[in-house]
Amino acid sequence: MTTLEAQLQQKNAQLAAIREISRAIAEAQDLNDTLDLITRRTTEVMHVESCSIYLYNPTHDKLVLAATTGLNKSGIGEFYLPHGAGLTGWAAEHRQVVAVTNAFQDVRFYRILGSGESKFPSLMAMPLVSRDRVIGAANVQTEARHDFSEDEIELFRFITELAATALEKAQLVHAAVVREMHHRVKNNLQTIAMLLRLQMDQEKKLAPHDILNETINRVLSIATVHEILSEAGVDKAGALDLIRRMSNTISNNMLNPAANITITVSGDNIELPSQRATSLALVANELLQNALEHGMAGRTEGAITIKLTGDKGRLRLTVADDGRGLPENFEMNAHLGLGLEIVRTSVVEDMGGTFQLGPNPRGVGTLAQITLPR
């Protein structure tokens, strides 16, 4: 290979790394993934043995190791540089590049015990500045003594400028996600408290065992939403997946294995924001429990069909059973138990939808219908 070809190949590799780091900026979701990607790609493209990123912790005014390819990884989140300490701390404090062939002989050198740094004599450090704020510093280190060239300094400067933006964005996303999680946990605990309170006010006296069983099913429906959210990693859950899993949980909990009762779930997997998905799961849970508890009471055979459909404007959920049907002269308001109260409150009051419960037009059993604006 000619020198020119070699140089071209190197430039191509550098461009690819820069492109990848730019993409990370656009897609920055998870802080750790972003850190990991930047340090790995920088190590490769700069032909160094280590790339580390320290993030500034304003509470303790220090730079904390956040990612590294060459240092002792167990020090991530632990190793730190006090304000201005070390060559990397100096780079952050002075907002300037530092490039030295023998770091150990530099008066600014600061040893982090156990970091594994002693095998890297040469070091280049850059501040990470985003929107005129120092958010941290990054360095690269080599095992063999190395004079960093102007070219290398320019490349590293370019990468760290991109990285600073990516990291700031990922940090912001991270903070927002954590806040959202707390908010969601709080909402769910309130929902559970509300369910328990409603249950306490019930006139109907159930055996403690039954009360607990119902409550367990309600809590499990909420858990199902979070199970799906944790897998998807987003704030949206597919409503059909949700209902399907909820119905699996319920049937495992409530169905007598000897009975031949089938539960079919079909329709469109409509994406819903987490709050709405939680409400819908609770509602579907109540309707399914009723179909099993009342419709199928004392039966060994039966079919329950759950359907979810949606068009632009509305979402429609139906739960049909071919069971023994509603009690004679059933009137929703007069016979409202806790279950239907939950359905009515969430659907009509909270989500502005409609709820109907009546005889199944197919002749036997009961049909519950819900529509929700989207």
Question: Closest approach of Cβ 266 to ligand ATP, in Å?
Answer: 18
339 lies in the site for Mg ion, by CB under 5 A: yes
Question: Closest approach of Cβ 285 to ligand ATP, in Å?
Answer: 10
Judge contact between 173 and 29, C-beta under 8 A: yes
Partner whose binding site includes residue 88, from Mg ion, ligand ATP, none (CB under 5 to 8 Å by kind): none
Residues between 291 and 310 that touch ligand ATP (CB under 6 A): 291, 293-295
Give the nearest residue (CB) to Mg ion. Answer: 339
Residue nearer to ligand ATP on the CB measure, 7 or 260: 260
Question: Closest approach of Cβ 336 to Mg ion, in Å?
Answer: 10
The three-state secondary structure class of 76 is coil
Work out the number of other CB atoms within 10 angstroms of the CB of residue 126.
27
Partner whose binding site includes residue 327, from ligand ATP, Mg ion, none (CB under 5 to 8 Å by kind): ligand ATP
Provide the pairing of β-strand 301-310 with 260-267.
parallel
Judge contact between 338 and 202, C-beta under 8 A: yes
Residues between 199 and 228 that touch ligand ATP (CB under 6 A): 214
Q: Judged by CB under 6 A, which stretch of 12-20, 181-189, 223-231, 332-340 contacts ligand ATP?
A: 332-340
Give the nearest residue (CB) to ligand ATP. Answer: 337
Task: State the Cα–Cα distance between residues 8 and 301, nearest whole angstrom.
Answer: 74
User: Which residues in 222-231 are b (16+ Cβ under 10 Å) and which e?
Assistant: bebbbbbbee
Percentage helix, strand, coil, to 5, in the chain? Answer: 50, 25, 25
Alpha helices in the chain (DSSP H): 3-27, 31-45, 86-94, 150-201, 208-232, 239-254, 274-290, 338-344
Partner whose binding site includes residue 335, from ligand ATP, Mg ion, none (CB under 5 to 8 Å by kind): ligand ATP
* DSSP label of 21: H
- The closest of 331, 316, 328 to 368, measured between CA atoms, is 316
121 lies in the site for ligand ATP, by CB under 6 A: no
From candidates 95, 145, 335, 374, binder to ligand ATP by CB under 6 A: 335
Residue nearer to ligand ATP on the CB measure, 168 or 322: 322
362 lies in the site for ligand ATP, by CB under 6 A: no
Question: x/- contact string, 288-317, with Mg ion (CB under 5 A)?
Answer: --x---------------------------
Task: State the Cα–Cα distance between residues 42 and 14, nearest whole angstrom.
Answer: 9
Partner whose binding site includes residue 366, from ligand ATP, Mg ion, none (CB under 5 to 8 Å by kind): ligand ATP
> H or E stretch including 304?
strand 301-310
Q: Judged by CB under 6 A, which stretch of 125-133, 161-169, 223-231, 336-344 contacts ligand ATP?
A: 336-344
Kindly list the residues in this chain that would bind ligand ATP in the complex (CB under 6 A).
Answer: 214, 286, 290-291, 293-295, 321, 323, 325-327, 335-340, 366
Kindly list the residues in this chain that would bind Mg ion in the complex (CB under 5 A).
Answer: 290, 339
